Amino acid sequence: MKYIPLSTEDHRGFGYHSDKPYAFSQAIDFFPLTPQEIPRMLGSLPLVFRKTEKGYDFGLPAGILSRLNTLIHPENGKFMLNYVPAVLRRYPFNLTEISDSKVAMMVLDSEEGFAAGRGEALVGLDGVLTEKGQSVQKFLYGILHYLKMNIALSEQIADAGLLTPIEFTVKNPEEKPGAQHLRKDLYRIDEKKLAHLDAATLKMLTDSEAMVLVYANVLSMAHLPRLKEMVEVFAKLKANSKQAPQVDLEKMFGDEDSDVLKF
């Protein structure tokens, strides 16, 4: 599976539509959020920092188990919260930086749902981006810009020494009893260190707006137990798909609103 450039020649008349729209993300366990999305998610699940090989970012964990997305319905591939993160909605498209000042619009070559006659065309028969194609391009630019912003702010918070690992103790429903693959890449704000932060560092974090992420994490940590609930709900859906439609996570986690950044 690889990204290839969206071609105004090879992809004329191509659009995207999938019968199971988010099934591809079943092994994705974290969704970085843009600043605009943070208020939408505060009442749903904990918003946390994730440590990666390149540093830290900020967003929504899809569960407490590595490589398992417990927010995706195992039967119909739908996202089970009211709001679908922008990084998930951009699929199968992305932007790749090809130089310091240029980016290219890309699409996954393996996605069968991207084809001529499927969905609304991104490239017209004249080889020009349609209105839909332009809106997707604008959407991707917005995601790239704002995720970079949150990564930079997360790094400032980490450099200030405010992050501490989140520890989990739940069994993996996908494996034999006793087996655990609990993730160790999630971090939260150490509130004791925050309370004793020196004035200069506090001012720096406030001026850069990094404190928005700090407060978002602190406020949302009340929802940490819901990550365990999601594991339990997912296991029930997996075990008995006939009863799956009766599980209404929309009533459990927040209000309907999925228009951030458009698309």
pLDDT in tens, 55-65: 999 999 999 99
Reported pTM: 0.87
pLDDT at 168: 87
pLDDT at 175: 55
| 103 CB burial (10 A radius; 0-12, 13-18, 19+) | middle
pLDDT at 55: 96
Highest mean pLDDT among 77-86, 165-174, 210-219: 210-219
pLDDT at 166: 97
Q: Confidence class of residue 239 from pLDDT cuts 50, 70 and 90? A: confident
Q: Which two tokens stand for residue 38?
A: 């943070």
Q: In percent, how much of the chain has pLDDT > 70?
A: 87
Q: Which two tokens stand for residue 179?
A: 């087996």
Mean pLDDT of 112-136: 96
What is the DSSP code string of 93-159? EEEEE-SSS-EEEEEETT-TTEEETSSS-SB-TTSSB-HHHHHHHHHHHHHHHHHHHHHHHHHHHHH
- Any idea what the Cα angle at residue 165 is, between residues 190 and 45, rounded to 5°? 85
pLDDT at 184: 94
Provide the residue type at 116 as one letter. Answer: A
pLDDT at 247: 54
Asked if pLDDT for residue 101 goes beyond 70, the answer is yes
Asked if pLDDT for residue 178 goes beyond 70, the answer is no
Mean pLDDT of 75-86: 92
Gyration radius of the chain's alpha carbons? 20
Mean pLDDT of 149-174: 88
* Sequence-distant (≥ 6) Cβ neighbours of residue 188 within 8 angstroms: 46, 48, 49, 163, 164, 165, 166, 217, 221
Q: Where are the domains of the chain?
A: 3-232
- Distance CA(222)–CA(96), nearest Å, equals 36
Q: In percent, how much of the chain has pLDDT > 90?
A: 75
Buried b or exposed e, range 159-186, using 16+ CB within 10 angstroms: ebebbeebebeebbbeeeeeeeeebebb
pLDDT at 179: 47
Mean pLDDT of the chain: 89
Q: Confidence class of residue 261 from pLDDT cuts 50, 70 and 90? A: low
